[in-house]
Structure 1
Amino acid sequence: MRWVLLLVASALWWSLPVAARADDTASGEAGGRVAFIGVPGLLWDDIDPRDTPRLWELAGQSGLGSVSVKTVGTVTCPYDGWLTVSAGVRSAVGRRCGLPPEPIAQGQGAIVPEVRELLGTRDGTYAGTLGTAVHAAGECTAAVGRGAALALADKAGQVDLYASEPAGLGDWARCRVLAVDVAALVEPYLEDGRLPQDPEAISPERRRDLARQADSEVAAVLDRLPAGTEIVLAGIGDHGSVPHLRVAMWKRPGITDRAGGAGSPGGEGAAGGTGGSGGSSPGEGPSIGTNSTRRDDLVVLPDITPTILTAAGLAPPATVVGLPWRLGDPITPADLVRADTAGVSVRGTTGVFFTAFAVLQVGFYAVAYFLMSRRRRLGLVGTAAIVLACVPVSTYAVNLLPWDRSPYVVVTLIGGVLAGTALIAAVALLGPWRRDPLGPPAAVAAITAAVLAGDLLTGTTLQFNSLMGYTAVVGGRYYGLANIPFALLATAVLMVTAIAAELLVRAGHRRPAVAGVAGLGVAATLLAGWPGVGSDFGGVIAFVPGIAVTALLVAGRKVSVLKLAAFCVLGGVLVSVIAVLDHLRPPAAQTHLGRFVGQVLDGTFLPMIARKLGAMLNTLLSPNLMPIVLAGLAFLIFAVLRPGQVSAGVVPRAFAQAPMLRAGLVGALVSGVVGMLVNDSGTAVLSMAVALAVPLVLHAGVRSSESPAGEAERPRSEIFF
């Protein structure tokens, strides 16, 4: 009970609201004018001084960033992108993909009837939020193009001024909020109203022609905008079956025009915005970030809505989940191109990597069974187990290297993971701790925990764009502790603390052993759930019962189903406390934990819960993840129940010689099972807990079998609870 109280008290202390830092957000002057230019499909790779001189010039006068266009599905069609800007939350229209609907002219304005239809759908509930907020402030809206009309239509579908092309809009200065749809880049990709499955549907030469056409349409807009207009430009949709990061530019007062610098937009060789020096990329400019992503060079689609409103001096509605853009450290378009390449490469490699990892896991257990059942090459099995356990942490450690700068990105990435695996395995197997059977497993667990904890404390640069982490092009998470890294962190912490507890118990210090497990577990749990650091809702719920079970077993206590359920409830209470305290902070400082509390309070959380539940259920039969769970757990169970036939008795011997190792394994599996049920990654959580914990136990068992015999094995009935 004392440790339970400590856990809650620590959460309260570390999660106390803090004053929001003063961000450089879109704070345009009261009465300012803002123009949003949406160019679905626009990549930084499309922009160069020769083919797109006006976009090149605009980049030289703007903050630069990337926008993750993820909405609800894997690919964001233009309709979904414009609808998300309209709603201020991720939105989608389901089967009606393609271009937004054509508005119906009505006097000087137009009406978009589909808005009222979308209001009754699950993923279109907030359509019309942007336009309604503008009208509520007594201002008018002006739109050019069908997508712009959808973005600025209020909940009745009404837009005050509308034209299908720039030349048709008579008064560009009448309304403070203007939107323009430049669809030239994406229209040719649409087949029967839908994006094609073939990412190479358009040749590179045709793509350059489309970029030139889009640049011409953007130029027609820029030439008509009143002086002093703040410009927000973003590529708000995908152009094929492969998602990408898209262009984000923000021209606002206070940004220095970088014209005249070598290789910069509008500089020498690009005078008048009509030519091009053939330079490689625009010059360095301030980056565009947002608190939604906690990254200085990345924003998301829902952030565009509050950015437009704030630039016009209007307050975003409470239902808007995005946050206004802010300016950060200097960056170049070349950096943004490389970020897109890294994200797309990781996404494209992840499926193959997990398939290979699953095959490797299943193959390892098959070979281990064959060799161990015949009492042959046990040392080789133990070494292979350590190597296998080093693979996950290597997928993060490789991001310490600039693999994304290589001309062969995927090859360099995989080579780096293999090299990292070999290096970490060598440290574990050859260090002075190798003399103890628990030494190499402790080393691997400690390295894994240290890498992930260090990553959380330094902005999660290692999980970002990693094979077992997350990428912005997928758009599931942009910062904090993802589900697979959570499983690895929880397993590593529980295993290493259990091994440390074993040493303390052997020395007769059981109480300090229990305190060590609980104390380090509390620290890791707070790190996982701390807003802005781990920000992991389900991870806290799953971590608490794992820590409690491990601590109880180390203390020599029994674990009942009732106690286990109580610990799960405690985890839910703990993360709820953290989320509520996060919600009490200013909106700009909140993470998704605090915003979720807001959704619960206003009753808008059910669609999000439904999507996460569906995602969790979809992973239960994953061909890449479930085999890892089945192979690892089957080997472990039969190694315990049939030790003479499956594992030469090494696992029971390991538990007999190091009982605390059993406590760590059981705690890790408890966290894995609970995490599988409460996270949208489902089986991925349990599979990674198994992939790390079981090989470490197997190695300890092999090494224990090499030690002098004589220690009696415990009865099998005592191996678990």
Structure 2
Amino acid sequence: MLRRTFAALLLALATVLGLSVATAPASAATPVTTAAPASAAPEPFGATVLIGTGGITWTDVSAKGTPNLWQLLRDGSSAAMSIRSVDTNTCPLDGWLGVSAANRAAAPRAGTGPVQQRPCDPIEEPAGGVIPRWEEYQKAAASRQFDAKLGLLGEAAAKSDTCIKPVGPGAAIAAAMPEGTADRYSPYSDETLLVDLNTCPVTIVDVGSVRDPADVAAGETVEGGSRTEQIAAIDKRIGDVINAAPGGADFIVASLSDAGVTERLRLAVARGPNFGSGRLNAQSTRQPGLVQAQDVPATLMAITGIEPPTGLGGTRMTFDPAPDNSEARAEDRLQALVDYDLASHEVHSLVPPFFNTFAYGQLVIYLLVFLVWKGKIGGPDTRRKVLGIVRVVAVAAASVPASTFLANLIPWWRFPIPMISIVGAVGIFVAAIAYAALRGPWARSALGPLAFVAGVTVAVLAGDVITGSRLQLSSLMGLQPVVAGRFYGMGNVTFALFATSSILLATAVSSYLVRAGRDRIAALAVIVIAVGTVIVDGAPFWGADGGGPPAYIPGITYLILSILGIRMTWQRVGLIGLGSVGLFFVVALLDFLRAPDNRSHLGRFIQAIIDGNALDIVVRKGQQNISILLGNAPLTLLVPAALLFVIYVLARPTSWGSKGLAKSFEKAPTLRAGLIALVITLTIGFLINDSGTAIPAVGATVAVPLIVSVVVRNLEEDLRSVAGTRRARRA
């Protein structure tokens, strides 16, 4: 009866997984795509003008320096915009090709070395309405993984009988047909601007892009003066375009490219009948005031009556209205937009040194523990002090991941030295979490600090995902808007932290209950934790993670079966392995049954099997993971280090000169099963996720320090016991 009851609960857990994945959106590790809406697009309202530029951020905007952009900010809707295309930085050509394809696209760059360090080619004027190098651009788009179709915007407009007038060479690329022609093209000229802006209901204007002399790649020629002078000239052209346009027109101004080799968030602002004073939003990011460059052509189609084709890389931008269009409101919005830009820009450069320091620091902890356990450091009294220090450091280290998210509650990017301010912000929360873990009533138990830190990590990540992933955005271990891989939900790093902490929390809770003789309640408690984890991770409105639940459920199932006393045999191990593989294909098939534009990489793998390309994907994933493992030290050094550590713990718990490990398993009866469950989850996560090498590496940043803290606590008790025995003998 008992086993049937828990079998039913496990079936319910699997059902939750199926429902979550079946309705989850496409993995945000790939560009967001949207299907064409079933209903007709809204009727166009007057004229629409898309003004494209590049290299301008919200930090460049002020009432005095850029009066026209300031008026648009005050009277229109604004957002920070992620412009990531194919390469790390985005050239002006790339930005305009992206508008043409309504997806990520980029032109090939001449030269050798990293693409980011190669100069951007200038945009050439069309000759007789023909775009120069168009076939070259098409070949480059076809060779990339984003399925970009150049000329998509122009073709969609033609099919909808919508006239588009391109003004300027970049606009010609945006409005071009698939064969590379832009028949209505006019070069930008003050003398013809009035006529050009009143030729078609839709006008696209290239007002030029900023190329920062201090930031462009070596060999690139910059014209137009300093960065400040270029911005002022572009702002004037924007004003000229607005003045020449028909009354009642909608204006969309988008900075589509970077100013040089440095990638940053840029600006987007819209004003007109469809956009009042307020904040721009897009479903593609689910973040207020943050949009993608791919949202620009999607919005242009939506408000002009152009029937959007399937597979767009973005979604229509909407706006949240402000109470008024006062100068004070504009100042407040500008500050929020500058915060977006500065936080994403500053944290992006701090991530590598953070991971370097964090990874090497953890390796030092492991070495110190090894030397202490082997008796290489000091005598019994000294070792007890060292063990106390190691325990504090281990708990503090395990508190770092959650603290990196909580640090975004403090606007650290506004301080003069971001490195110091973010370290200080993280340190505040590390100190608070570690102090509570080591000083609370639970600290008397070896598993107490583990349960507390794991619980805090689960609560922080779950709470953040449920409330919109605000803390993850531009955090040291979270989502990077300039990378534009994912803007919400559970990515690989977040899943690794969330799943690891969930399993450790379940292990601590179940150990306490099993020791109290409540095995059934222990198993039920683990199932409750597991169901909550799967829902938060897989639900499309929260975690939206297609690859997480298939990795998490096999591991947590092993823990539940161990609690129930179902002895593991090689046959059952094989069945669990086959079940894990089967679960992957079930989830992948459920994902495959969704609309093609909404599938994640799991559903696309089923399609690849049908098409006969599955082996190529398996080989590519393997090569990608090996490349990350070998090419991204020191973080990935935690993978073999942590794996060897855990295997050694599980295989020979008494072999390090003390019985601390064995006593840890005795005092925490589900600890060994919990560690095995964790290894199962992290291994499957590594195998089935893109860039999955990060999953065990990041999981180790929480798991290993907490395991060390448990074992060290038992070693301290051993030393106290030995010292007491010696004192008794002397007496």
TM-score, normalising length from structure 2? 0.83
Q: 1:578 to 1:691 in 2, by over 3 A?
A: same
Question: Which among 566, 590, 599 is matched to residue 577 of structure 1?
Answer: 590
Aligned residues: 669
Question: For residues 309-388 of structure 1, what are the structure 2 equivalents within 5 Å?
Answer: 309-328=301-320, 330=322, 332-374=333-375, 376-377=383-384, 378-388=387-397
Q: Deviations over 1:481-524 (max 9, x none)?
A: 12111111101111111111112222323233223223321221
**1:578-608 CA distances to partner (integer Å, 9 max, x unpaired)?**
6856x59xx9xx79789979998999x9999
Moved more, 183-192 or 650-659: 183-192
1:666 aligns with 2:679: no
Counterpart CA distance in 2 for 1:139 and 1:487 is 48
Gapped runs of 5+ residues in structure 2?
1-6, 25-33, 111-118, 323-331, 722-731
Q: Equivalent residue for 2:104? A: 90
CA deviations on 1:399-451 (whole Å, 9 max, x unpaired) are 22333343443322110111211110111111001111111111111111111
1:121 corresponds to 2:143: yes
In structure 2, the partner of 1:235 is 255
- Secondary structure of residue in 2 paired with 1:158: coil
Deviation at 1:150, TM superposition (A): 1.0
Is the contact between residue 106 and residue 140 of structure 2 (CA under 8 Å) also seen in structure 1? no
* Structure 2 residue aligned with 1:47: 61
Deviation at 1:709, TM superposition (A): 10
Q: Residues of 2 paired with 1:694 and 1:362: CA distance?
A: 10
Alpha-carbon shift at residue 314 of structure 1 (Å): 1.5
Q: CA-to-partner distance for each residue in 1:49-94, whole Å, 9 max, x for gaps?
A: 2232222222222101111001122211112211111111222234
Match of 2:551 in 1: 542
CA distance in 2 between counterparts of 1:209 and 1:612 reads 47
Q: 1:470 to 1:608 in 2, by over 3 A?
A: farther
Q: CA distance change for structure 1 residues 329 and 658 in 2, over 3 Å: closer, same or farther?
A: farther
Alignment of 1:62-211 (within 5 A): 62-95=76-109, 98-99=120-121, 101-106=123-128, 113-114=134-135, 116-118=138-140, 120-122=142-144, 125-167=148-190, 168=192, 170-186=195-211, 206-211=226-231
Change (3 A) 1:371 1:463: same
What aligned pairs does 1:466-615 form with structure 2 within 5 A after superposition?
466-556=475-565, 557-558=567-568, 560-574=573-587, 577=590, 583=595
Q: 1:297 aligns with which of 272, 275, 289?
A: 289
Question: In the superposition, relative to structure 1, how do residues 608 and 92 fare at CA in structure 2: closer, same or farther (>3 Å)?
Answer: farther
**Secondary structure of 1:92's match?**
coil
Counterpart in 2 of 1:5? 11
Of residues 62, 72, 75, the one that matches 1:58 is: 72
SS at match of 2:185: strand
Contact 1:403 1:412 in 2 (8 A): yes
Q: Matched residue of 1:9: which SS?
A: helix
Shift of 1:351: 0.5
Deviation per residue, 1:219-253 (Å, 9 max, x gap): 23222212222111111111122211101001121
Moved more, 171-180 or 480-489: 171-180
Partner of 1:716: none
SS at 1:247's partner residue?
A: strand
- Counterpart contact for 1:14–1:526, Cα < 8 Å: yes
> Larger relative CO (CA 8 A, sep 6+): 1 or 2?
2
CA distance in 2 between partners of 1:440 and 1:187 (Å): 51
| Residues 707/411 of structure 1: CA separation in 2 closer, same or farther (3 Å cut) | closer
1:613, 1:680 within 8 Å by CA — same for their partners in 2?
no
Query: 1:135 Cα shift?
Result: 0.8
Higher mean displacement: 109-118 or 592-601: 592-601
Separation in structure 1 between the aligned mates of residue 607 and residue 304 of structure 2, nearest angstrom: 26
Structure 1 equivalent of residue 325 of structure 2: none
Q: Secondary structure at the match of 2:208?
A: coil
SS at match of 2:314: coil
In 2 relative to 1, CA 540–397 (structure 1 residues): closer, same or farther, beyond 3 Å?
A: same
Which range moved further: 183-192 or 695-704?
183-192
The 10-residue stretch of structure 1 (628-637 or 241-250) with the greater mean CA deviation from structure 2: 628-637
The CA distance in 2 between the partners of 1:690 and 1:642, in whole Å, is 20
1:30 corresponds to: 44
Moved more, 531-540 or 91-100: 91-100
The two structures, once aligned, show a CA RMSD in angstroms of 3.6
Contact 2:546 2:602 in 1 (8 A): no
Q: Decide whether the 8 Å contact of 2:298 with 2:314 is kept in 1.
A: yes
The residue identity in structure 2 corresponding to 1:87 is: A
For structure 1, which segment, 355-364 or 135-144, has the greater mean C-alpha deviation from structure 2 after superposition? 135-144
> Structure 1 residues 609 and 399 mapped into 2: Cα distance closer, same or farther (>3 Å)?
farther
Q: 2:629: which partner in 1?
A: 620
Q: Which range moved further: 118-127 or 693-702?
A: 118-127
Is the contact made by 2:81 and 2:266 (CA closer than 8 Å) also made in structure 1?
A: yes
d(CA) in 2 for partners of 1:53, 1:215 = 7
SS at match of 2:488: coil
Call closer, same or farther: CA 1:190–1:512 in 2, change over 3 Å: closer
CA 601–189 in structure 1, closer or farther in 2 if over 3 Å, else same? farther
For 1:190 and 1:397, the matched residues in 2 are separated by 33
Give me the whole-angstrom Cα distance separating, in 2, the residues matched to 1:434 and 1:116.
63
Q: 1:370 to 1:141 in 2, by over 3 A?
A: same
> Which residue matches 1:266?
none
Contact 1:189-1:239 at 8 Å conserved across structures: no
Q: 1:554 to 1:73 in 2, by over 3 A?
A: farther
Code of the residue aligned with 2:48 in structure 1: it is V
Q: 1:407 to 1:111 in 2, by over 3 A?
A: closer
SS in structure 2 at match of 1:294: coil
- Counterpart amino acid of residue 356 in structure 2: T
In 2: Cα distance, 1:419 partner to 1:612 partner: 39
Q: Is the 8 A contact 2:157 2:307 kept in 1?
A: no
- The answer to whether the 8 Å contact 1:99/1:193 transfers is no
Residues 101-155 of structure 1 show CA distances to partners (whole Å, capped at 9, x for unaligned) of: 4243326x86773355456433564111111100111222211222111111111
- The answer for the alignment partner of 1:439 in structure 2 is 448
SS in structure 2 of the partner of residue 104 of structure 1: coil
Q: Cα deviation per residue 1:603-656 (whole Å; 9 max; x = unaligned)?
A: 9x9999999776544321221312222333333334455656646332232123
Paired residue for 1:717?
A: none
> 2:216, 2:260 within 8 Å by CA — same for their partners in 1?
no
Question: Any idea what SS the aligned residue of 2:143 has?
Answer: coil
In structure 1, what is the Cα distance between the partners aligned to 2:665 and 2:713? 12
Residue pair 2:53, 2:254 contacting (<8 A) in 1 also: yes
In structure 2, the CA distance between the partners of 1:51 and 1:347, relative to structure 1 (3 Å rule), is: same
Tell me the secondary structure at the aligned position of residue 537 of structure 1: coil
Structure-1 residue corresponding to 2:3: none
SS in 2 for 1:8: helix
One-letter code aligned to 2:124 = E
Q: What amino acid is the match of 2:436?
A: V
Task: Tell me if structure 1 keeps the 8 A contact 2:592–2:607.
Answer: no
**Is the partner of 2:204 in helix, strand or coil?**
strand
Partner letter of residue 317 of structure 1?
P
Alpha-carbon distance in 1 for matches of 2:55, 2:40: 24
- Distance in 1 separating the partners of 2:227 and 2:464: 39
Given the superposition, is the C-alpha separation of residues 358 and 566 from structure 1 closer, same or farther in structure 2, using an over 3 Å criterion? same
